[in-house]
Structure 1
Amino acid sequence: MLNLHEAVKDREGYIDPSVFTDEDLYRLEMSKIFQKTWLYVGHESSIPKAGSYILNYMGENEVIVIRDPNSRLRVFLNRCPHRGNKLCLFDQGLQKGFTCSFHGWRFDTEGRLNGVADSNSYADTLKPERLGLKEVPRVSSYGGLIFASWDDEISSLDGYLGDIRWYLDRLLLKAFLGGIEVLPGRGKYLMPTNWKMMADNFMHDGTHVPITHTSFFQAVQKTQETKGIGWFGGNLFDSALNVLTISPTGVPHACGFFEFLGDTRADSSAQVQPILDRTMAERLGPEAVQWLDDRTKRLKEFVKEDKSMVLGSANWTIFPNLSFIMSPSALRANGIIQWHPRGAKMLEAWQWTAVEKDAPDVVKRFAASLLASDQAPAGMITIDDTENFDRMARNVGSSTIEERPFDYSMPGMDKQQFLEKFRQAGIDVGALPGSLEPLFTEEMARAYYGYYRELMAESR
């Protein structure tokens, strides 16, 4: 098997391409990564009452995420213990229990076996208490985001997330604006690449954005000029930075393209985006305008108490395979994305749409449409990325010549020099948790692969 101490030299910034193609390594990841970390399995708004459920994956294992009769969050392996048949066949729904389509074994929403067809044939030998559904031992929720872990000894979810919670509270969950809800349904698409490649792309890669997605930004600019619709306003590449947080348990998470409400520069998103949002709200009608005005007041009240003056962000990754895509606009939905492994050279992306719960329906629909136009299965951004990763997949691991290591060594410009322009704009960057990094750097990816190597080397 690949020697990870040689293949992953995170401090030097060199990663052997075999890390993304080796089948033996992939199989080891299923136990070392996907059974030893907290994995996102859904949002509480998707299962609002007892008996409501959704399906998701933890690595390659499909699970049922459900509220039991006491509204407790439970996660079960979607597998009948009799012969291993898939038990629940639908992505989401409301059930009092589940019946296997093979032999008719029945289970309640607490995972207990409560019925067997032709039970007399077992002559009292069946032990129902031993034949319930396999339950994931650790389930926890943060701000409505539900996580689960197969590792009974893992740290608390709060300890696992660490300081990234500070950014989640302000940029995604936004309880001070009424919180979020996840709309029904999800987009799914395959990408011919290793799951880690997209996780690390959202962890740090601002460098590709103005190059790969040039046509997208041109289209947004044209739409802004002709229709007054613009959901990425201002000089994003000068008004944003990256944040790397390392949790108390050593887990790296990252928040990219982080921007500030208090940025006084004329071309910053803080100055440009509110004007664009107002124009879009006026096109949607009085209800949208009233909501935006109320939202702005609530945001200003929050800022009085919280001097961080946060505005927005773009790409995130919470280790190992959960990402978010956001925008500084109040009128664009946020995307919650999971990179599900489907072999060493394939992933399946699942994407949900998160909107502000207090927004009127006209805003929610419009916000969802903006997200669908860019970072979504048929969106302009996703298509750009898929083409690049398809070409990479065809190159990497297909040659008989010795591969050179991938270069992740970019340090970024001098950090103090980079942060000085934010200080000059009146932003107290010292008040922010985590390590503040230049927009174009690969420091976050180096942290990602360093922790990945540690997990893969653990003996337990």
Structure 2
Amino acid sequence: MSHRISELVSTDASRISRRCWSEQWVYELEKRAIFGRSWLFLGHESQIRDPGDFVQAYMCETPIILARGMSGGIHASINSCTHRGLPVCRSDHGNAKRFVCPYHSWSYSVEGDLIAIPQESAVSGKPDKSKLGLKRVPRVESWRGMIFGSFDEAIVPLEDYLGDMRFYLDAFFDRFENGIEFMGAPHRWVLDANWKLPVENQLGDVNHGAFLHAAIIPREAQDIIEQIGHSVVTAPGHGATFRLMPEDAPVDEVAWGMEGVGAILGGAEVQEYLRGIQAKAAERVGDIRARMKGLTYGIYPNLSFLWSNTSFKVSHPRGPGKVEYWSWPAVPADAPDTVKKILRTNYSSFFGPAGILEQEDAEVWVQQFNGSNIDFAEDHKYFYGLGLGEEKPHPDFPGLVSVTANEFYARHFFARWRDELMAVEDVE
């Protein structure tokens, strides 16, 4: 069997081989071509507010310590001792002055510097500790409190990487005067699926709702999405879907959060808070974005954002057929604590690990992977051609825009995926 990426994705990305999800050699290329060269989401600044605060993260399968240094800077280091490779941090999150390897007790500062080697007092030659710190992630940048890292020292600045996606992300972030915060540690669970399957789903596939989630999403809700919904690709791999509500729509139909369980069942305090946010939306984000009700967003390669349920998700690869899914609820940073607690139910009821919709999606991703790994079907590639060529520029929205049924969000993702893997493949 030939091992060439060019054979897996057609020129227009409308036909995609099942091997894109199932082959180990493809995954090995992905690690170098994508995860070694992209900006990868690490965490939110609200998780590391104070000096010494840290959380654990991953960049592909590489364990990372994300920490607030004693001088207030943000540092990302690989969680592996320079001496014998053990993890020097075993806690998922916390506050520390030192990270200590349990094997020989080499200790490191939260910034990643090697501080002490107990054994060096017994030898004459003293190693240069300044050269033996934890391996640093060479590029770390933050935007709107969202922290990203990259192994590629030459990568473009994060703002340039996000590009026009900032227009759509700010329709959410800029609604809140003091930004957002993540509530607690991430939920984490493992699925027998490929990492790209959750990414694709939440990059723009909103038209499965009335079918897969028929018990919760009525056909009428899907009809509204199809009538007023837009799908956007700002750059290959970055995308957003949203509803543009009519100018005369009632505030309760437009306001962020009002369609969630928290607002429906949470009482007057929550509802009045959300109406107050919407009352200032046009002033903060402009008339058009004030009427945007987001659905699914995606940042290449593996960060997803669900607007209505205010959930950020990262699809961490663990091989071609396994993914560790991390998911955080987010709330406005300056909301009253009582409101934050209630708004969190918008996430947990639907898109936490036990959420109704999350469980249905997870089952589909596992079955998708199984379908990509069966025998005697390789000559029957998947069809990704719905709406081929119908996406076009829009006078009000950056990027290419189309109806939500157009699968161009996935075609553009796989075109970028193909080209990046081919670039590494050709070098090797």
User: What letter corresponds to residue 283 of structure 2 in structure 1?
Assistant: E
User: Aligned residue for 2:203?
Assistant: 203
After TM superposition, the structure 1 = structure 2 runs for residues 396-415 of structure 1, keeping only pairs within 5 Å, are 396-400=372-376, 402-411=378-387
Instruction: Return the match for 2:273 from 281, 284, 291.
Output: 291
2:316 and 2:326 in contact (8 A); partners too: yes
Residues 1:240 and 2:208 aligned together: no
User: Aligned residue for 2:323?
Assistant: 347
Q: Deviations over 1:56-78 (max 9, x none)?
A: 10011010011111111110000
The whole-number CA distance in structure 2 between the counterparts of 1:158 and 1:275 is 25
Residues 1:451 and 2:427 aligned together: no
Q: Deviations over 1:65-119 (max 9, x none)?
A: 1111111111000000111101111111111111111110000122111111232
Decide which moves more: 149-158 or 310-319: 310-319
1:308 and 1:431 in contact (8 A); partners too: no
Decide which moves more: 137-146 or 363-372: 363-372
- Tell me the secondary structure at the aligned position of residue 35 of structure 2: coil
Distance change >3 Å, CA 415–CA 182, structure 1 → 2: same
User: Aligned residue for 1:106?
Assistant: 107
User: What letter corresponds to residue 259 of structure 1 in structure 2?
Assistant: R
TM-score (norm 2): 0.91
Instruction: Return the match for 1:259 from 231, 243, 255.
Output: 243
Q: CA deviation at 1:191?
A: 1.8
Distance change >3 Å, CA 69–CA 236, structure 1 → 2: same
Instruction: Return the match for 1:277 from 224, 238, 258.
Output: 258
User: What letter corresponds to residue 208 of structure 2 in structure 1?
Assistant: H
The whole-number CA distance in structure 1 between the counterparts of 2:154 and 2:79 is 23
User: What letter corresponds to residue 254 of structure 1 in structure 2?
Assistant: G
User: What letter corresponds to residue 294 of structure 1 in structure 2?
Assistant: G
Distance change >3 Å, CA 370–CA 140, structure 1 → 2: same
2:391 and 2:408 in contact (8 A); partners too: no
The whole-number CA distance in structure 1 between the counterparts of 2:31 and 2:321 is 14
The whole-number CA distance in structure 1 between the counterparts of 2:192 and 2:264 is 42
1:284 and 1:362 in contact (8 A); partners too: no
Q: CA deviation at 1:273?
A: 5.2
- Tell me the secondary structure at the aligned position of residue 57 of structure 2: strand
Q: CA deviation at 1:271?
A: 6.5
Q: Deviations over 1:128-166 (max 9, x none)?
A: 122110000100011000010000011111111100011
Q: CA deviation at 1:295?
A: 1.9
The whole-number CA distance in structure 2 between the counterparts of 1:275 and 1:180 is 13
Distance change >3 Å, CA 346–CA 31, structure 1 → 2: same
The whole-number CA distance in structure 2 between the counterparts of 1:310 and 1:190 is 36
User: Aligned residue for 1:311?
Assistant: 292
User: Aligned residue for 2:399?
Assistant: 434
Q: Deviations over 1:286-342 (max 9, x none)?
A: 543542343232224336x55443332111110000101121xxxxx4100000001
1:107 and 1:132 in contact (8 A); partners too: yes
Distance change >3 Å, CA 280–CA 8, structure 1 → 2: closer
Percent sequence identity over aligned pairs: 28
- Tell me the secondary structure at the aligned position of residue 207 of structure 1: coil
The whole-number CA distance in structure 2 between the counterparts of 1:10 and 1:359 is 48
Residue ranges of structure 2 left out of the alignment (5+ in a row): none
The whole-number CA distance in structure 2 between the counterparts of 1:314 and 1:112 is 42
The whole-number CA distance in structure 1 between the counterparts of 2:137 and 2:228 is 42
User: What letter corresponds to residue 401 of structure 2 in structure 1?
Assistant: L
User: Aligned residue for 1:52?
Assistant: 53
The whole-number CA distance in structure 1 between the counterparts of 2:257 and 2:65 is 41
Decide which moves more: 31-40 or 404-413: 404-413
Q: Deviations over 1:320-365 (max 9, x none)?
A: 00101121xxxxx410000000110111110011111122222211
User: Aligned residue for 2:284?
Assistant: 302
User: Aligned residue for 2:181?
Assistant: 181
1:170 and 1:310 in contact (8 A); partners too: no
TM-score (norm 1): 0.85
User: Aligned residue for 2:367?
Assistant: 391
User: What letter corresponds to residue 326 of structure 2 in structure 1?
Assistant: W
Q: CA deviation at 1:260?
A: 2.5
Distance change >3 Å, CA 276–CA 189, structure 1 → 2: closer
Q: CA deviation at 1:274?
A: 5.3
User: What letter corresponds to residue 437 of structure 1 in structure 2?
Assistant: S
- Tell me the secondary structure at the aligned position of residue 436 of structure 1: strand
Query: What is the root-mean-square deviation in Å for CA atoms of aligned residues?
Result: 2.7
The whole-number CA distance in structure 1 between the counterparts of 2:230 and 2:272 is 32
1:204 and 1:441 in contact (8 A); partners too: no
Q: CA deviation at 1:204?
A: 2.3
- Tell me the secondary structure at the aligned position of residue 377 of structure 1: coil
The whole-number CA distance in structure 2 between the counterparts of 1:5 and 1:351 is 33
- Tell me the secondary structure at the aligned position of residue 87 of structure 2: coil
User: Aligned residue for 1:363?
Assistant: 339
Residue ranges of structure 1 left out of the alignment (5+ in a row): 222-231, 328-332, 420-428
